[in-house]
Amino acid sequence: MKKIVSLSMLASAILFADSDLDQLKLQIQQLQEKVQNIEKQNAQKEQASIDAKVANDTSSSFSQAAYLPDIGLVLDMSALSRNIDNTAYLTQAMPGFLQSDPNGDFPFNKDNGFNLNYAEVSMHSVVDPYFDVFAVFHIHPTAIEVEEAYVRTRALPYSLLVKAGKFKSDFGRINAKHQHSWAFSSQPLIYAGLFGPDGISDPGVQLQWIAPTNTYLMAGVEAMQGTNTQSFGNVERNNLYIGYLKSSVDLTDDISVLGGISGVTGKNPNGNTNVYGADLTVRAELGNYSSLVWQSEYLKRDMDNNMTSGLTKDKQAGVYSELIYNIDENWATGARYDRIVQNDVGDMSLYAPAGVNTNNLDRTTVMLQYKPFEFSRLRLEYTDDRSKIIDGQRKNIQEVMLNLTIEAGSHGAHAY
């Protein structure tokens, strides 16, 4: 009997032990699963932290990139043959407009042979929802100049636009255009005579308004410093005020007309200067990449001139007309004729010796242009210039020039 009781107690102990062991195993297994879950959660949190950091760094990089300015580069160079040597060319005078100045400004195609005319670096950036900023730097072989540096509004009501800083005025048809966007390598005679190689370009402020009509109509006014000594130059205070009205209309699906009138008034050391202008451009689309563009402009200047005989008023005017045939996307050809049509000045002896003919100042230019691609251009030009006095004599300047222009980087479309 004792043996049976003992065996029963042993069997019960073994059964209880097995039950406790199974429970212990189950608890251990549950604990291991909890540890694995914790480790998995920690790993997920760590990966999420890494992903967030990468995303933040990437977003920051993109944000910084969005505020980097667009940068463009233009190189302009030429090979030239002229029937006047370099030393004599620097003595040129334009009767009634430009006196002989061997140390004067000849920024484009100055020398027989090879010329690096300039490198132009342009920058543009969106500042914020309210302003854009622009800058253009001209790098000449011997100097660097700020050609333009201004801010322009983005969000004014009533189709208003304000520009402030140093900029090229929108007076006339081509004053606001940079040299590499001209149809020919040289300025029209009347522009060179009235404003010099830089045109009207000064610190100031501009306000433009575009009418809310189906036909394009833009009116603008500008107040500028007036440092241009060719027509103004009295800078005791800002003295230059400009106004213009420009419009365009489509006559047909293929023919459009752009016209404008402009006026500028300012002070010169002897009194007042007023310049008036009218321009007309007609563009006919002939097919894919083919078009015919006729552009003409007339400028007139009335300027007080204090001579020894008393105050006189110089009255001068000139016109140019050019016709460009864009044959296809690669080839173009064209011709331009310039003429001074009025040249009444108080003392012509300042510009020409006695007995030298100062009438019939004109120039003819023809060109052939090849563009291998949108941002490179080769242009061959022939010019017959009958507007200059060199070494005290009226001479015809004849030149043949091959011009190469390269554009790289970000560069906006040229104005129509």
What pLDDT, in 10s, does the model give residues 215-269? 999 999 999 999 999 999 888 889 999 999 999 999 999 999 999 999 999 999 8
CATH class for the region spanning 70-409: mainly beta
- Looking at residue 283, what is its pLDDT? 97
SS3 178: coil
pLDDT tier for residue 107 given thresholds of 50, 70 and 90: confident
Location of structure tokens 């016709």: 323
Q: What residue segments make up the domains of the chain, in order of their start?
A: 1-66, 70-409
State both tokens at 10: 């042993």
pLDDT digits (tens, 9 = 90+) for 284-329: 999 889 999 999 999 999 999 875 556 678 999 999 999 999 999 9
CB atoms within 10 A of CB 75: 17
pLDDT digits (tens, 9 = 90+) for 26-47: 665 666 666 566 656 655 555 5
- Looking at residue 39, what is its pLDDT? 59
Rounded mean pLDDT of 44-58? Answer: 50
Q: Is the pLDDT of residue 54 over 70?
A: no
- Looking at residue 26, what is its pLDDT? 65
SS3 244: strand
Q: Which residues pair with 322 in a beta bridge?
A: 295, 336
Pairing of strands 376-390, 362-373: antiparallel
**What pTM was computed for the model?**
0.81
pLDDT digits (tens, 9 = 90+) for 161-209: 999 999 999 999 999 999 999 999 999 999 999 999 999 999 999 999 9
- Looking at residue 55, what is its pLDDT? 46
CB 201, CB 166: distance < 8 Å: yes
SS3 227: coil
CA–CA dist 1, 387 (Å, integer): 147
- Looking at residue 305, what is its pLDDT? 83
Would you call 335 exposed, middle or buried from its count of C-beta atoms within 10 A (0-12, 13-18, 19+)?
A: middle
pLDDT tier for residue 352 given thresholds of 50, 70 and 90: confident
Q: Is the pLDDT of residue 104 over 80?
A: no
Q: What share of the chain is helix, strand, coil (3-state, %, to 5)?
A: 20, 50, 30
Average pLDDT, the chain: 86
Rounded mean pLDDT of 121-129? Answer: 92
- Looking at residue 11, what is its pLDDT? 46
Rg (CA), the chain: 37
State both tokens at 47: 């990966």
- Looking at residue 61, what is its pLDDT? 41
